[in-house]
Amino acid sequence: MKISNITVYKADIPLRESFRIAIMEITNAQNLYLKIETDEGLYGMGEASPFWRICGETQAISLAAARDLALLLKGKNPLAIEARIADIEGYLDNNPTIRSAFDMALYDILGKAAGLPLYALLGGEKRELVTDLTIGINDPEYMAGRAKEIVAQGFKAIKVKLGTTAADDIARITAIRKAIGDAVPIRIDANQGWDFNTALEVLNALEPMGIQYCEQPVVNWNYIDMAHLRRRTSIPIMADDGLKDHHDAFKLCSQDCCDYLNIKLSKAGGIRNSLNICAVAESSGKACMVGCMLESRLGLSAGAHLSSARSIVKFCDLDSALLLAEDPVTGGISYDGEKVVLPDAPGLGADVDPAFLSRLESFTI
């Protein structure tokens, strides 16, 4: 089997409402879809969701890189994933988001060739997955009202974006906790927005408020302050923006900077490196979460398969499709309240509506 054609689609998908985190504000998902076709009729789909402030990529950068990677892979065997990932990483050491789309599409082909859903191909089984639902930064009253809506929809965990001033962030969580009561866990994510002193002040104030964990409280490179902070709060610390691949996982775990690791395919460069992160976490006694950028249900399906295949994944944050104003994906994961239901079709079990793809700017190599 050889790769015959690769088509790259520029996919701008509006959000239901503007979404603000500490380091950026987003009004639409500037994603890419990727289709790798083979000379035996099988094809694989992948998705990239660039976050320039986290992964250093824009949609335009990913489009340019995709053209080079497509030229690199055309004519080669898609089933030899180790060799193909070595080709990709040997050519383009950075740009993990577009690399993840190629990786995802290759695994999709492999699953289809084997006749297995991805979770089974990876040696796992279907298990129950639940996701939280995320609230972007806004005023406390709005966020509290949104939290009540999320609980009413059946979600048993809420993720809240923070990372502004100590007073404002404490007010946000205080209002949310008052609105929803004490039973629902709150997960917080500062997205590098605090310095050490602000982080310590906020976390100390929030300790009585049932915070399940805090993601990336300080800037991504500051492992020293993360380690100090972890020792001075009872709230577990999760590495996110500072964790891209398994090399970062090794450094974070060896320096005991965190309790949990947040794996995102778009940061890690895809499924293969995400599996490596799981292995590092397991060997270090750390649990993982599989999270997301602003992927549609295509990219989220890959993350859900990974979550189901590895028991070290204890948490899921696979809610980005619920933030999008349009759903162009056929098949793939579905939602039953907080439950994420995996497909049993081979590979990812997800595709993109051809009518939607026909409207997009694209090129084929």
Q: Cβ distance 162 to 187 under 8 Å?
A: no
Helix (H) or strand (E) holding 118: helix 118-121
What's at 94, amino acid-wise? N
At CA 111, angle to CA 33 and CA 84, rounded to 5?
A: 65
Q: Note if 240 is an active site residue.
A: yes
Q: Note if 314 is an active site residue.
A: no
CA-CA distances (angstroms) from residue 352 to 17, 116, 329, 349? 23, 20, 4, 11
Q: Note if 57 is an active site residue.
A: no
Select which of 35, 112, 244, 264 is catalytic.
264
Q: Cβ distance 264 to 317 under 8 Å?
A: no
How many whole angstroms separate alpha carbon 184 and alpha carbon 143?
A: 15
CA-CA distances (angstroms) from residue 149 to 133, 184, 323? 10, 13, 14
Select which of 159, 161, 244, 286 is catalytic.
161
Q: Note if 256 is an active site residue.
A: no
Select which of 57, 103, 215, 338 is catalytic.
215
Local structure of residue 343 (DSSP, 8 states): P
Separation of CA 108 from chain center: 18
Burial label for 8, CB within 10 Å (0-12, 13-18, 19+), is buried
210: left (phi over 0), alpha (psi -120 to 50) or beta: left
Q: Note if 215 is an active site residue.
A: yes
Select which of 37, 57, 108, 240 is catalytic.
240
Active site amino acids: 161, 189, 215, 240, 264
